[in-house]
Amino acid sequence: MKLFRIIILLFSSIYLAHGQESFGFLSKEVDLGGAFTLDLVLNTQQDVKAIQFDVNWEPSAFTYSNTITLADRIKDTHVVVINPISGQNNKYRVLIYSSSNTPIPKGDGLIASFGAVTKSVYGSFGVNITDAIFSGVDSANISNISLIQGNIQVLSPDFGQFPPIFSFGGVYKQTTATQVFTFSNIGNKELTVSLENTDLDKFSFDTSVFPLNIPAGSNYGLSINFSSESSGKFTESFEVSSNDPDETENRRIELTADVYSSNTATLSTIEIEDNETKKLYFSINAEEPIISIQFDVVLPSEGFNFDKNSVRLELTGSNHTISHSFLNGDRRLRVLAYSPTNQAISISSGNLVSFSVGATENTAPGTYPVILESVVLNNSNLFNVVTATNNGSIIKKGSDLAYSAPSPLPEIPIDYPTDLQLVLKNSGNIPLQISEIIQENEFFEWIDDVEGLSISPDQEENLAFKWTPKQNKTDNLTFVISHNGYTLKDTIVFSANTYAPNFIQIEKLPIGLGGDGELVFQAVNYEEVTGVQFDFLIPATFTYDIANATIAPQFADKVGLSISPVENNPNTYRVLMYRLGVNKIPIGTNDLFVLPINAGSTPLGPHLVTFSNTIISNSKNVDISTTPAEINFIGVTNAPVASSSSVTINEDQVIVVTPTASDPDGDELSFVVSQQPTHGVAVPVEGGIKYTPNKDYFGTDVIYFKAYDQFLYSSQQSISIEILPINDAPILQSLTAKSLSEDTPLNTLVYLLQANDVEGDVITFELSAQTIADGVFGLQNANELIVIGELDYEEHPEYEIGIIVSDPLTSSTSTTTITVIDVPNQFIEAAIRVSVYDVKREDLTAKIDYSSYFSQTNKVEGQIVIYSLVQAQDAEFFSVDEAFGSINFKEAPDYENPQDANGDNIYEFTLRVTNITDGAPEVPVITAQRNISVPEASTQVAEISTIVVATDADTDGDGIPDVQDNCPTTFNPDQADWDNDGTGDVCDDSDQDGIYDAMDQCKTSTLGAMIDVNGCEVFTLPQDNISLQALQTSCVGSNNGKAVFSAIDTDYTYIIQIDGQPEQRLLTANNHQFTYSGLNPGAYQACITVLGVEGYEQCYSFSITEPA
């Protein structure tokens, strides 16, 4: 066995500074297991006659081979003697001397070599010299020679150890697993590892990397891959060799892997809207039997909640049970499903568990992850074999308004319109409907149409608008946007940096082609101004008369004017205006001076006038000039050309007339009304002039207009309008809405109808089809509207009367409203309690006849009442037939998930019964039970019967008025009511078993239970509770028939008795299943009783047959 030891020495280099004398062994590197020499050197500046010293080294590293060779320079004159020192392991005393007293000459060089052999230890080892004595020529001791401690580095590779078995652990089928196998060189010389033998199929690696050359103290990681298409345990191996001197045999590496099938668990994805609840499913796709599952579901931090009553096991065909809990503030659901008998789940792929998640109001739309964690799919060995999990997600449906501030956003001038944009984006996943954008700034104007705006998901709309700020420094716009997004309404407050503009402009000037005009220069200033200076440049094609420029009249004696050309800038002039005395230019838009101008050869179109080097000085001699708020140009144009035209319309017809006009320059035209027509009104609109004639006028009218191209007007022209007469429909004179009492007598006059006809034609009246269909109002004597049917506030509190007025050619329809005034009706209100009880087997609910529970006293013939629910407490869950009083659940109740206000499965509401005979004194009296019990999973509740009686009536003759009698249709003078529920025992069936309490010997029997004639419970079970399967023998003459018994209701222990067979039981210990084996062919009878229940027996006949 090779050893490795490091001895750390403090030693000096053999190469000492110039002039320093030294003595010692040279350091060197040697290979493990070989011979080498220890070289002794002397460096002196004087002759040395003899040397004696002690030397020792690490005995485990190398040994002295008993050979010493003197260097050539002293081998003929000196001898060397070496002896071990007694009692000191591996320490020797050495003497070098000359019998002829010949000195070792001064200088630097080798004086002797000691033979040595390395052992099995590699590393760094010192060769130490002590107690050295140097004798000079005069035999004096030389003391200034330094000792060199030599160092021998023994080199060897050392192949590090590793486990002979390298396991990949569990690997899933049809996947590739990669592991890194590490080769280590813990030696101090390069290690070479060679590949010798391989026996690999499922495992693989790159063989071309061999041989491996691993530097000293380094590792090499070999990537090994494994892949298998089938499951099972796999073992393969390969062998390597190395140049480690201790390694005499190849090393074998065994590779192992356990391959499992693919078993994945997945959560589903749902789409959901605000306040909606939907199911999510946990499903598996397993390639091996799974006996139990466990998993956690983590909801997003907000916006969604678990329905705590919704966790369900979706499995059928196995005896798995489920348990669940909610953790982390109800954000985490933990589910466990297992079989008490370790039965495998009945499906290998599909939904196992469902639960519901609801979205809270105003949750932003988007995709939210539902995280599946800590999944366990246990196989029959109780090993978790889940290979992959897939998270679910909730796609919250909705639109989402996102917006940005209007752009661009430079500083904008006050009092001047600026074009901006409002950018709206739909970040949701359904179209965003903008129902309204409110902007109440009076200096705001939409450029784009924002009515009925719809934005698709991930799309945006740029809405252009024009805004004229009025506040200096900053001004605000507020947009209030209503939409169908999850926030419903958003407010955008846009704050803009504004400034008061101070600049020079020209008054907008149109000039005809080649024509003359006057260019008016203006100052726009928001402070008083004492002087201005600016340069202006007009295109060279214009001619102008600087000498005849005139100061505006208001400044004629107050301001001086100087206009001079600017050197080296053709067509550029500098203007200087300065105050005379204390005069100032006031705040506002002020004309400064007028410059005569001629268009000359300037072509048609706008031509820019530019201003530069502007200085506007205020009262403090501070330049307040800003960026101009408008662009200045001179428009050269041709005047529009217009001509007269005519048009014909009908009486009372409104028309938009397009005047006959054109523009030689192709400019867009608008129109102005220069003189209004005599018999109507004319208003310029886009595309023409809108004309509205005076009502009922016919004849001729004239509109006078001019066309305008934004620069010049055309000559005045006319539009002649011929208005043709038409027949006007007669118009009913206005009728005032009326109110009539519901006891208004027939033939009462409501309205005397009158109408006007412009042409004086004969007029007729008739009623609309709906009014005729109502059958309450009619006409007599051609124009009298009268009452012809009974008014009933309860059925029809308001009527809209349609009246058609006609002349021989046309007609018109008018409506008026008649309101019916109620005459009070007698009514009562009763509190109804509906208790829902649990049904053990809900699947049988529809098969059980509960009609006996609901039978009540029949209605009195001719009775007229209306039933209605008072909207309070639990009334929302019920419907009532207003004529017959039949009460039903809107949706069948579920005992395990009560929806009533108190959550106790007792639904409470108020029922109103009204005598619909207006003003009648008789009052309704309920003759039915008011405390009702119904089974779950059924919508039927009860039919509430009622009689209508005088307040002193006594229908059953028991001396108690019906309005006070607790059972008004059955003689009961004692008014017995054992449960104090307000219904007398003679007509109260508290346990609703079909036997009134007065005769019921068991008034509190279990709801829905079978009873005897006394109203007491009789034990019974469903006919299909016991399942019997008879299996024939395997062959003729054999006695291996079987009878398999099982019970659905597992609350009881069942005793089975078959003639000639031992008694057996169905109980929890055998999962309520038992199989009789070894039965001979023949007929059998099995009778089954229930442990602890007297008088119950159920018998079955069956036969064991032989195969044909």
Q: Is the pLDDT of residue 336 over 90?
A: yes
Would residue 633 count as lying in a domain? no
Would residue 419 count as lying in a domain? yes
Say if residue 937 is in the same domain as residue 837. yes
Domains identified in the chain, total number: 9
Mean pLDDT in residue range 43-62: 90
* Percent of the chain at pLDDT exceeding 70: 95
Q: Is the pLDDT of residue 13 over 50?
A: no
Q: Is the pLDDT of residue 567 over 70?
A: yes
Say if residue 605 is in the same domain as residue 695. no
Contact 304, 279 (CB under 8 A): no
Contact 412, 496 (CB under 8 A): yes
Would residue 988 count as lying in a domain? no
Say if residue 109 is in the same domain as residue 43. yes
Q: What is the pLDDT of residue 950?
A: 87
Say if residue 430 is in the same domain as residue 468. yes
Q: Express the helix, strand and coil content of the chain in percent, nearest 5 each.
A: 5, 50, 45
Q: Is the pLDDT of residue 307 over 60?
A: yes
Last residue of a domain, one of 197, 225, 260: 260
Q: What are the DSSP E strand ranges found in 1032-1096? A: 1041-1047, 1054-1058, 1064-1066, 1073-1079, 1082-1090
Would residue 234 count as lying in a domain? yes
Q: What is the pLDDT of residue 431?
A: 93
Q: Is the pLDDT of residue 524 over 50?
A: yes
Q: Which of 387, 284, 294, 386 is nearest to 338 (CA)?
A: 294
- Band of pLDDT at residue 817, cut at 50, 70 and 90: very high
* Complete edge-to-edge strand list for the sheet that includes strand 509-512: 509-512, 633-637, 605-608
Say if residue 117 is in the same domain as residue 21. yes
| Measured distance CA(978)–CA(801) in Å, rounded | 58
Mean pLDDT in residue range 827-853: 65
Looking at the DSSP assignment, which residues form a beta bridge with residue 597?
Answer: 517, 544
Q: What is the pLDDT of residue 19?
A: 47
Q: Which domain holds residue 578?
A: 532-626
- Structure token pair of residue 371: 């995280």
Q: What is the pLDDT of residue 408?
A: 52
Q: How many helices (H) and strands (E) does the chain have?
A: 2, 88
Mean pLDDT in residue range 803-816: 92
Say if residue 473 is in the same domain as residue 597. no
Question: pLDDT (tens digit, 9 = 90+) per residue, 445-466?
Answer: 998 888 889 999 999 998 999 9
Q: What is the pLDDT of residue 16?
A: 37
- Band of pLDDT at residue 409, cut at 50, 70 and 90: low
Q: What is the pLDDT of residue 678?
A: 96
The dihedral region occupied by 557, where left means phi > 0, alpha psi between -120 and 50, and beta the remainder, is alpha
Mean pLDDT in residue range 662-689: 92
Task: Pick the more confident residue, 179 or 1033.
Answer: 179
| Measured distance CA(200)–CA(894) in Å, rounded | 64
Last residue of a domain, one of 474, 499, 524: 499
Would residue 212 count as lying in a domain? yes
* Percent of the chain at pLDDT exceeding 90: 50
Question: pLDDT (tens digit, 9 = 90+) per residue, 1012-1063?
Answer: 767 787 788 887 889 888 888 888 888 888 999 999 889 899 999 998 899 9
- Band of pLDDT at residue 613, cut at 50, 70 and 90: very high
Q: What is the pLDDT of residue 861?
A: 46
Say if residue 15 is in the same domain as residue 133. yes
Would residue 67 count as lying in a domain? yes
- Mean residue pLDDT of the chain comes to 88
* Complete edge-to-edge strand list for the sheet that includes strand 1026-1031: 1026-1031, 1041-1047, 1073-1079
Q: Which of 992, 1093, 1012 is nearest to 1052 (CA)?
A: 1093
Say if residue 594 is in the same domain as residue 452. no
Mean pLDDT in residue range 71-98: 89
Would residue 991 count as lying in a domain? no
Last residue of a domain, one of 92, 127, 155: 155
- Band of pLDDT at residue 147, cut at 50, 70 and 90: very high
Strands 865-870 and 645-650: unpaired
Say if residue 654 is in the same domain as residue 596. no
Q: Is the pLDDT of residue 655 over 80?
A: yes
- Structure token pair of residue 49: 């006659």
Contact 370, 305 (CB under 8 A): no
Q: Considering only the C-alpha atoms of the chain, give the largest distance between any 2 of them, rounded to a whole number of Å.
A: 177
Say if residue 17 is in the same domain as residue 107. yes
Say if residue 239 is in the same domain as residue 189. yes
Contact 53, 40 (CB under 8 A): no
What is the pTM assigned to this prediction? 0.41
- Band of pLDDT at residue 405, cut at 50, 70 and 90: low
Q: Which of 157, 163, 153, 154 is nearest to 218 (CA)?
A: 157
CATH number at residue 1073: 2.60.40.10
- Band of pLDDT at residue 844, cut at 50, 70 and 90: very low
Would residue 789 count as lying in a domain? yes
What residues have CB less than 8 Å from 160, skipping those under 6 apart?
A: 183, 184, 185, 186, 219
Q: Is the pLDDT of residue 7 over 90?
A: no
Residue with tokens 């005009």: 517
Q: Is the pLDDT of residue 695 over 80?
A: yes
| Measured distance CA(532)–CA(615) in Å, rounded | 6
Q: Which of 230, 176, 183 is nearest to 203 (CA)?
A: 176
Q: Is the pLDDT of residue 283 over 80?
A: yes
What residues have CB less than 8 Å from 72, skipping those under 6 apart?
A: none
Say if residue 18 is in the same domain as residue 99. yes
Mean pLDDT in residue range 93-103: 90
| Measured distance CA(772)–CA(994) in Å, rounded | 51
| Measured distance CA(66)–CA(548) in Å, rounded | 132
